[in-house]
Amino acid sequence: MNKILIGLPAIAVAIFAFASSASAAGNVMYSSMPSGRKSIPITRRVTNIGGKINASFKFSLAEKEGNPARVRGLQTSTEVNVINGGPDQTGVWKSNNSLYLGNMSFSKVGDYAFVLTETYSSDEENFPRDTNEYEIYFRVTNKLDANNNPTGEFNIELMDYLWSKKADGKVGLDEAIFESVGNYTHISLENMVTGNAADMDKYFKYELSFDGVIDGTVLTVSGQDAQIDYDGEEVSTASEYTFGDAPLTVYLKHGQTVSIGERVTRGVTVNELPQGTSYTITKLDDDGYTTSLDEQEVSTVTKTVARNDSEDFAAHNTTVAGNNKEASVNTGIMLNVLPFIGLVAVSVGGLFAFRKIAA
């Protein structure tokens, strides 16, 4: 369940009572928020994020219809921004900001409700908005003198719960959070070798380059043999790739598949490539093999990654490389003329023998 975390100090109890100051405007008396409570912290979380992100999330606070009166000084929006933000080891990124309440003032007694929503994500494809809504409640009552007569000022109480649309009920002020699952993904490259002259133990060399990812983002590379012999040279293969470095090089034998951008930590699978990332795969060997990528006789292919639940995920995120080598096979022409060559040889041999006898 997506929730918004509204953190409150340890003094938060069932009801917050505030002293207030009063001011007159057009014969209407307003009581304003006191100095004790000035803001509501908002926490934004994104899960399933394995790499750095740049994003902005905006939130709106609005009065509900049916309140006793309009409220003055309401801050209607705030936002949470992240630049080159990174997740923790379990793939969770979070940040927070505060919605300022200090300028609010009330003119009538009664119960007031406000709706807090997320209205914007700068990258809706990778970080969808949380559609939850939370209602914040205030109760305004008359402040009484020693004889229980109204003084013209109000007591303003912040109720000790929120009402959550997703939970369909009350949640604690310190238990809710705006959250979404990030649509990061991964890619894979499979190497297949065929042909009667093919070497099934040969390593084939590929280069991968990416566009659209923040420099410094680290991708997990898995599926390669750690140490290989490539053309007589000992090579240590990569288990990680950092954007901003030279292109990634991978080495694969027949039947091997390398996965790029998928990490498993403590049993949690985290994806590291944002959808929309462009990548190019190029086979580097010049080895006499006929190469195909996704059944096309080419040595280079460029794709754009798609989210894991998309119908064309495999077409965008999985590439099958084929390498075929056949031995030179006789076409059969020589086989067809061999009997005639033998016959001629026998005839010529017989002719020479006949001439020798005749002589």
From 150, 176, 182, 147, select the one nearest 161 (Cα to Cα).
176
Per-residue pLDDT of the chain (359 residues; tens, 9 = 90+): 444 333 333 323 333 444 455 555 445 667 766 555 567 788 899 998 888 888 999 999 999 999 999 999 888 888 998 888 888 888 899 998 888 877 888 999 999 999 999 999 999 989 999 999 999 898 999 989 999 998 888 888 888 788 999 989 998 776 668 999 888 999 999 999 999 999 999 999 999 999 988 888 889 999 999 999 999 999 999 999 998 878 999 999 999 999 999 988 878 888 999 888 999 999 999 889 999 999 999 999 999 998 877 888 889 999 999 999 999 765 555 445 445 445 444 444 544 444 444 44
Is 63:112 a contact under the CB 8 Å cutoff? yes
pTM of the model: 0.72
User: Strand 278-283 to strand 268-271: parallel, antiparallel, or no bridges (unpaired)?
Assistant: unpaired
Q: Is the domain defined by 15-181 classed in CATH 2.60.40.3050? A: yes
The CATH number assigned to the domain with range 184-324 reads: 2.60.40.1140
pLDDT at 159: 81
Domain limits, the chain: 15-181, 184-324
pLDDT at 28: 60
Cα 302 to Cα 88, 109, 111, 190, 224, distances in angstroms: 31, 65, 59, 15, 22
Q: Which two three-digit tokens encode residue 205?
A: 């060399």
DSSP run (H or E) holding 345: helix 333-358
pLDDT at 233: 94
Amino acid letter for position 328: S
| Site of tokens 């590929």 | 206
Quote the distance between the C-alpha of residue 279 and its chain's center: 16
DSSP 27-74: TEEEEE--SS--EEEEEEEEES--S-EEEEEEEEEEEPTT-SSPPBS-
pLDDT at 155: 87
